[in-house]
Structure 1
Amino acid sequence: MIHTKRLIIYPLSDEEMREVIGRETNEVLKAAYSEMLAGCLRNPKQRIWYALWVLQLNDGSKKTVGSLSFKGLDEKGMVEIGYGMDPAYEGKGLMTEAVSAVVRWASEQPGVSSIEAETEPDNIASQRVLEKAGFVPKGVLGAEGPRYVWRKPA
């Protein structure tokens, strides 16, 4: 569990992920969450790198305002982060706060050598989140758009 000024960020259990999948009406998200759960089940010792993490307000309401996930830990020690925010909470700096905290945490985990992300070319808000969280363009395109790599602050 990671605490920030305004958020509590934690990975869901397999059962909690099943519940999310069961409630999800967006077929693309349902498929993505199912793939995450499958990764958790295939890699129980590394499930943290496949689980869905939720972002809850740290104000006592326990309101979930977004989520994030990693896309596994590859053989070179690279993890990729992805994220999404409830539109009602966009533009408040919450995702930048979450991504910044989670990548600092991830960078301290055994076996992690780099953290990357990619975003749609026209998703300027997501690009700003990455830049504010310490990511820099990698100079290559991924499946979703430009790739970014996190640089640990000096």
Structure 2
Amino acid sequence: MRVETERLYLYPISNDEMRSLIENEADAEMKQAYTEMLEGCLLEPDSRIWYAVWNMELKNVPGTIVGDFCFKGLGKDGIVEIGYGLREEFRHQGYMVETVKVITEWALSMEGVCAVEAETDLKNVASQNVLRRAGFVKNGVIGEEGPRFVYRGKE
């Protein structure tokens, strides 16, 4: 499984790669999040695309990972939430907006998905700007981390 943007290949990493990610993660909160993602992959192997970490690899420099993202499972209500991160040296080059636009379109093309949401830290203006530039709008809800944004597709 691979999705392409203009400049990137997007693909889910394997369960073994996720285990390695967990082992090497220093941040306790991220380690817990990765562990929960791996558990989702193991419990729902037919739906692992909705739980796995996806790499963002440069097309013109194979093996160069600029960041990653995930879908936080597919809810029974047809809403999927995304989370993402970009390596420092690749910020402010449009990679994340490019990725969010494409993965949102891709997710909405999948059976059972009617909306894509994201939640950002209240102080993370850069992430909020990524979502706005990708067509998301605030839905008026404040989640645990901060404002929630939504992109509605098919109803």
TM-score (norm 2): 0.94
What is the letter of the counterpart of residue 89 of structure 1? Answer: F
Aligned to 2:143: 142
Deviation at 1:135, TM superposition (A): 0.3
- Number of residue pairs matched by the alignment: 152
Conserved 8 A contact 2:114-2:152: no
Q: Deviations over 1:50-107 (max 9, x none)?
A: 1000111111332111010011111111100000010111111100011111111000
Unaligned runs of 5+ in 2: none
The 2-side partners of 1:120 and 1:17 are apart by: 24
Letter in 2 for 1:134: G
User: What residue is the counterpart of 1:20 in the other structure?
Assistant: 21
How big is the shift at 1:26? 2.2
Q: Which residue of 1 aligns with 2:73?
A: 72
Q: After the TM superposition, which parts of structure 1 deviate over 6 Å for at least 4 consecutive aligned residues?
A: none
Report the RMSD for the aligned CA atoms in angstroms: 1.1
TM superposition score normalised by structure 1? 0.94
Instruction: Give me the whole-angstrom Cα distance separating, in 2, the residues matched to 1:135 and 1:97.
Output: 13
Residue 113 of structure 2 corresponds to 112
Match of 2:53 in 1: 52
Partner of 1:84: 85
Secondary structure in 2 aligned to 1:17?
helix
